């Protein structure tokens, strides 16, 4: 068993599931989406990105790209949330939907990353 693959796979899947946990719920109601879960999704995605930095293969480049997309989307969502609350006086419907939509984009990038990881695992020889 390759412990590096186990750790990488763990964080790739944890990034996807944490992001899904934040994304799931009514996009118009911020009460269904925890700021702490968004923070956890950002941290786990950043860890997954760091784990992808050492891979020099073509697939590693694509995995890194998907992870960077997810990071940018989630950090963007947190930025919109912070600006709405602290600069513009509170969350409105437009800001809430933007936050959840950006999280959805990150979730899609996480899904692509996990599918590529599974495909690479299936094609590798024992």
Q: What's the confidence (pLDDT) of residue 126?
A: 60
**Host domain of residue 117:** 3-123
For residue 37, the Cα-to-chain-centroid distance in whole angstroms is 11
Residues 58 and 83: their CA atoms lie apart, in Å, by 37
How far CA 80 is from CA of 12, 75, 105, in Å, comes to 25, 9, 15
The per-residue pLDDT for 21 is 95
Local confidence band at 50 (pLDDT 50, 70, 90 cut-offs): very high
Under 8 Å CB-to-CB from 32, ≥6 apart: which residues?
24, 25, 26
Q: What does the mean pLDDT of the chain come to?
A: 92
Are residues 20 and 107 in contact, defined by beta-carbon separation less than 8 angstroms?
yes
Question: 29-42: b or e for each residue (b if 16 or more CB lie within 10 Å)?
Answer: ebeebeeebbebbb
Say what the pLDDT of residue 81 is: 96
Q: So what's the pLDDT on residue 4?
A: 86
| Cα separation values, 29 from 26, 42, 79, 87, 105, Å | 5, 21, 18, 20, 18
What is the model's pLDDT at position 122? 87
How many distinct structural domains can be found in the chain?
1
Tens digit of each residue's pLDDT (9 = 90 or more) over 64-110: 999 999 999 999 999 999 999 999 988 999 999 999 999 999 999 99
pLDDT of 5-36, one tens digit each? Answer: 899 899 999 999 999 999 999 988 899 999 99
């Amino acid at each position: 068993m390759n412990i590096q693959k186990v750790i990488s796979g763990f964080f790739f899947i944890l990034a996807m599931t944490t992001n899904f946990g934040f994304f799931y719920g009514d996009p118009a109601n911020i009460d269904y989406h925890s700021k702490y879960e968004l923070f956890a999704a950002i941290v786990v995605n950043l860890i997954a990105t760091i784990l992808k930095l050492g891979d020099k293969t073509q697939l590693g480049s694509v995995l890194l790209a998907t992870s960077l997309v997810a990071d940018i989307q989630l950090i963007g969502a947190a930025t919109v949330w912070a600006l709405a609350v602290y600069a513009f006086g509170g969350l409105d419907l437009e800001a809430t939907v933007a936050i959840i939509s950006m999280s959805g984009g990150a979730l899609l990038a996480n899904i692509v990353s996990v599918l590529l990881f599974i495909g690479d695992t299936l094609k590798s020889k024992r």
